[in-house]
Amino acid sequence: MAGSTAGVLDGERLAGDGVQAQPGFLDKERIIAGPGFNRWLVPPAALAIHLCIGMAYGFSVFWLPLSKALGTAGTGIQACGKDVSFFTELFTTTCDWRVATLGWMYTLFFVFLGCSAALWGGWLERVGPRKAGVVSAICWCGGMLLSALGIHLHQFWLMILGSGVIGGIGLGLGYISPVSTLIKWFPDRRGMATGMAIMGFGGGALIGSPLAAELMKHFSTATDVGVAQTFVVMALGYFVFMLAGALGYRVPASGWKPAGWTPPPVQTSNAMITQRHVHVKKIWGIPQFWLVWLVLCMNVSAGIGVLGISALMLQEVFGGALIGVPAKMAQLDKVQLASIAVVAAGFTALLSLFNIGGRFIWASLSDKLGRKLTYTVFFVLGGILYASIPSSAGAGSKLLFVGAACIIISMYGGGFATVPAYLADLFGTQFVGAIHGRLLTAWATAGILGPIVVNYMREYQLGLKIPAAQVYNQTMYILVGMLVIGFIANLLVRPVASHHFMSDEELAVEKKLAHEKAVAAEVGTGSGVADNVSPVVVALAWIAVGIPLGWGVYKTLVSAANFFH
């Protein structure tokens, strides 16, 4: 209701004499692109935001230093004991936070990402990506500053409120802000366009984690672990980058299409790509939405389950074989354990590269294969690879084990990047950002379901005295079962029934509310950038996001090299 009201007020503001008031700087009318605008300037704007909020994946780099924040310099302060409740840890200043407690930040990120995307997706569609991007920057970076204060005062509730809640809201808005815009700019390459942006979210940790490590090393002293200062510096840097991205957003005028591109034929009974549009308020009652919800949930649950324990699984399965020592993990000394931990860290870095690469490659490939067939590949090939892991582990084949894990994680990332285009194909583009926001509740669900299944199955089997190298076998078969559920749901997806789509009159009303008036006086006046953008400007925009991403990939490759050594 609040989003609808905001949209109406923005769209229908009148001056005192009855003439419509000039749109504000952040309003959607101000960023409607005129003829000749280069659409390739929009993807780097989206990447600028996603590379910043993607640091949510890399927050674990802070857990160990924060778990020793008070115990620095031999103060004798220890971590909070088991007798200290979670509620007490929120406010205590007499013991260090436990790593398990800090891990709740990671859970809150994705719970609030899904919730905020679902709640405010409709508002985003009406006000446009610029305003949503600015709000995302304020929430994400403001949340980090509030967390820095929480670290300084040793008040965990401030970290929960700052990065967990406020930052999580910024994550949700920032994540979906470019989706609708990119799909409208690239109707001919929907998968590739969303793959570019969502690749940035996967790549955020590649930049943020090594950057945070360098900053903490710079700011740390004998009495301070340097995390609070790191939060402040990163928040300020991210704010500049995200603001530049938000101000770089432009939306195409209503009816725009790429030169020389002809839309596919109007939907027939067998077509999976519609030219009509479903209203977001109807989406909860459409079976295809819930089928795609289940498709995403199962794909992500299985992938995130493996991603969360990948390093530990490699060490427990292969043990000393990782460093050429014929011994199980429990038989290794401290030096050997440290050595295989370095190898496992390289394996994790390798998975990160496949995660971001898969987001772009699989999503781009879906433009050729179609979304339904692409997900069919995910489930069939994924099921085979998950089922092969126990065999490759039992045979001691590191190559087959690592190869299977890398392809699995590429399809995990590819699932995220392909689903926005899947939604646009089925439900149209008018509300695809809002619909995508609601679908992300599947991610929030998977973020809880996948780790719970993997971690509890591991603990259960260890309790049965099953050797550590074999505790993952049954887990892999359970994950195969999840993929079977997703496979069946994907097979059941059919074109949306015609009565779910808006009429031409309803669509006209929604476009008016969404500020797609494209009046001549408004077109191209918002950003201060001429419509005929110089290729040099486009190149500079890509360089601005390419340099930090390239640096992150380089640092990750250096880490991944430890696995091969």
Do 373 and 420 share a structural domain?
A: yes
420 assigned to some structural domain: yes
| Alpha-carbon span 79 to 89, nearest angstrom | 10
In a domain, 80, yes or no: no
Q: Is residue 6 part of a domain?
A: no
Residue 363: is its pLDDT beyond 50? yes
Same domain, 241 and 290: no
pLDDT, tens only, 374-387? 999 999 999 999 99
The average pLDDT across 345-354 equals: 87
**pLDDT confidence bin for 77, thresholds 50/70/90:** confident
Residues 503 and 545 in one domain: no
Rounded Cα distance, 563 and 403, in Å: 13
String of DSSP letters for 252-276 = PPTT---TT--PPPPP-TT-S--SS
CA-to-CA dists, residue 27 to 2, 131, 266, 430, 537, angstroms: 17, 7, 33, 17, 23
Domain residues for the domain of 210 are 29-73+89-258+524-554
- Same-domain pairing of 409 and 549: no
Mean pLDDT of 400-419: 93
Question: How many other C-beta atoms are found inside a 10 Å radius of the C-beta of residue 219?
Answer: 16
Decide if 79 is inside a domain.
no
Whether 462 maps to a domain, the answer reads yes
Reply yes or no on whether the pLDDT at 500 is more than 90.
yes
User: What's the structural domain count of the chain?
Assistant: 2
If asked whether residues 252 and 361 sit together in one domain, one would say: no
Q: Is 459 inside any structural domain?
A: yes
Quote the pLDDT of residue 2.
Answer: 41
User: Which pLDDT does position 271 carry in this prediction?
Assistant: 65
Contacts of 289 (CB under 8 A, 6+ apart): 283, 427, 435, 438, 439
**DSSP-assigned beta bridge partners for residue 501:** 278
Same domain (yes/no): 378, 500: yes
21 pLDDT above the threshold of 60: no
Mean pLDDT of 467-481: 83
Do residue 308 and residue 399 come from a single domain?
yes
Residues 170 and 33 grouped into a single domain? yes
Range in 400-404, 443-447, 546-550, 551-555 the model is least confident about: 443-447
pLDDT exceeding 90 applies to what percent of the chain? 45
Q: Burial-class residue 227 by CB neighbours within 10 Å (0-12, 13-18, 19+).
A: buried
User: Are 42 and 127 contained in the same domain?
Assistant: yes
Q: How far apart are CA 230 and CA 235, in angstroms?
A: 8
Q: Per residue in 194-250, pLDDT tens?
A: 898 889 998 898 899 899 989 999 998 888 899 999 999 999 999 999 999 999 999
Kindly state whether residue 409 falls inside one of the protein's structural domains. Answer: yes
Confidence at residue 3, expressed as pLDDT on a 0 to 100 scale: 45
pLDDT of residue 154: 92
Between 107 and 553, name the one with better pLDDT.
553
CATH of the domain at 149: 1.20.1250.20
Looking at the structure, tell me whether residues 351 and 442 fall in a common domain.
yes
Chain segment 246-277, per-residue pLDDT in tens? 999 999 987 788 888 877 665 444 468 888 99
19 in a domain, yes or no?
A: no
* Average pLDDT of the segment spanning 165-173: 94
Of 552, 509, 514, the C-alpha closest to 7 is 514
What pLDDT is stored for residue 270 in this prediction?
41
**pLDDT digits 0-9 by tens, 23-71:** 678 888 888 888 888 999 999 999 999 999 999 988 888 988 898 888 7
What b/e string do you get for 341-355 counting C-beta neighbours within 10 Å, with b at 16 or more? eebbebbbbbbbbbb
The C-alpha angle with vertex 354 and arms to 349 and 358, in degrees rounded to 5, equals: 155
Q: Please tell me whether residues 174 and 310 are part of one structural domain.
A: no
Rounded CA separation 134/244 (Å):
9
Asked if pLDDT for residue 20 goes beyond 60, the answer is: no
- The C-alpha atoms of residue 476 and residue 383 are separated, in whole angstroms, by 9
Tell me if residue 20 falls in helix, strand or coil. Answer: strand
pLDDT, tens digit, for every residue of 113-156? 888 999 998 899 888 999 999 999 999 999 999 999 999 999 99
pLDDT category at 476 given cuts 50, 70, 90 is confident
Instruction: Please tell me whether residues 278 and 193 are part of one structural domain.
Output: no
Is the Cα torsion angle 11, 13, 17, 18 positive or negative in sign? positive
Token reading at 60: 């674990």
pTM attached to this predicted model? 0.85
What pLDDT score was predicted for residue 163? 92
In this predicted structure, the answer to whether residue 536 has a pLDDT above a threshold of 80 is yes
> 10 pLDDT exceeds 50?
no
Is 527's pLDDT higher than 90?
A: no
